[in-house]
Amino acid sequence: MTKLIKCVLLIIILISAIGSCACSAESTNIRVGLYYNGTAKAEAVLESGGRIDITGGAAPYYYVKAVFENESGGMSVYNSENVLIAGFEKNEPCLFVPEAGYLSLDGKKYRGICEITATDSGLKVINILSVDEYICGVLPNEIYPSWGREALKAAAVTARSFTWAKVRGSNHHGDGFDLCTTTHCQVYRGMSTEVDSTNEAVFATEGEVVKYGGSVVSTVYSSNSGGYTEGSENVWYAAVPYYVSKPDPYTEPNTWTVNYTADEIEQKLKKIGKNIGKVRNITIDETAPSGRAIKLTIHGENGLYSLEKDNIRSFFELKSTLFTVSSSGGVVKSLIAAIIEMENSVDGGGAFKLATLNGGADSFIFNGKGYGHGVGMSQWGCKNMSDLGFGYRDIIAFYFEGTTVTAI
């Protein structure tokens, strides 16, 4: 069959699939990368409760298996009796369109359709579905399905808004899809993890998003604000008007403790190519009004290394940046408060020299509050507001100041 005919059939199948989406009235579908690059598959088995149509005009089957061909770099598709039913060249996509509205891929169910392409890494698998079908597979993995109805509705609207904003500015477009399945975007595990309560929240708020100045906003959220939400400028880069740093009376802060030895921190630094010798001290040089660390410096016997904003949390693998650090020398609150001994002697070059810290701590204890970056909505605060009788629009208005909830 010629490539022209295959392309025509692919377009017809895709249009048919878009029209068959049952979970949402939205007309725009999104592409979610299930397997790609390092996770690309050698083979993929697809099943469904009805027939599966395949690009290329092959007869529909209830079971198909796509196999990556190492020699040619292409893909072969087999039926349940292991009979070859279609073949595709490298980078030539094949659409698998289920009559039943879902596909089971290696035992996991997904709404919508699947596109599989043979690439240099193996089989790239993309799930194509509507935004609300996607949110149905996200929500139970991002919030407790047992929480109150208004909390679930607030979570559905914020997840939908985040999705639209992320799709429009996605850094996955170079890989041929809009969103991944991890916390880098939102945790998506398909139909297999759907729960009635979260699906109902999606349906009840169908098509609703959060807007600021008429544009859909990226409504980020974290688990626990620690009792104080944070402005985006103190976590990432630029200030955003609807991300406000303020007390959050609806979130009861969780507490946590993380311990590091000086040697462990030294080894972590070496892994990123920084060698400042034995770690002597850690100082928090700047904090936000919330108390979150904005700048932190690690003092070594051979130099200093500074971290800023959310990079602090990432480097030390902490739950938040709302913490204090204690050591054998006591609580370190700021660079000014830290005890630094100086030699006022002149070295051979005629310059003043800062003395190394004598002694130094053997271990450091991080005592903190909150879970996540603290920007936007606190999920536990959302839950508590719902329990107190607030509606989902009230919850969103509190955590995203100056925004409105409206249809996309």
Instruction: Select from 350, 330, 352, 347 the least CA-distant residue to 339.
Output: 330
pLDDT in tens, 98-143: 999 999 998 899 999 999 999 999 999 999 999 999 999 999 999 9
Percent of the chain at pLDDT > 70 equals: 84
- Give the model's confidence band at 28: pLDDT under 50 very low, under 70 low, under 90 confident, else very high: confident
Whether the pLDDT of residue 13 is over 50: the answer is no
Q: How many C-beta atoms surround the C-beta of residue 234 within 10 A?
A: 24
The pair of structure tokens assigned to 230 is: 């944070």
pLDDT in tens, 144-186: 999 999 999 999 999 999 999 989 888 899 889 999 999 889 9
Whether the pLDDT of residue 403 is over 60: the answer is yes
Of 48-57, 216-225, 261-270, 331-340, the poorest mean pLDDT is in: 331-340
How many residues belong to the chain? 408
What pTM did the predictor assign? Answer: 0.81
Mean pLDDT confidence for 218-222 = 94
Whether the pLDDT of residue 344 is over 50: the answer is no
pLDDT in tens, 231-283: 999 999 899 999 999 999 999 999 999 999 999 999 999 999 999 999 999 99
Whole-number Cα distances in Å, 1 to 54, 87, 321 = 14, 10, 59
Looking at residue 60, its pLDDT comes to 78
d(CA 408, CA 405): 9
Query: Whole-number mean pLDDT of the chain?
Result: 87
Sign of the CA dihedral with 104 first, then 33, 162, and 309 last: positive
Contacts of 348 (CB under 8 A, 6+ apart): none
In single-letter form, the type of residue at position 115 comes to: E
Cβ–Cβ under 8 Å, residues 208 and 405? yes
pLDDT in tens, 30-67: 999 999 999 999 999 999 988 999 986 666 788 899 99
Cβ–Cβ under 8 Å, residues 91 and 119? yes
pLDDT in tens, 291-306: 999 999 999 999 999 9
Better pLDDT: 121 or 14: 121
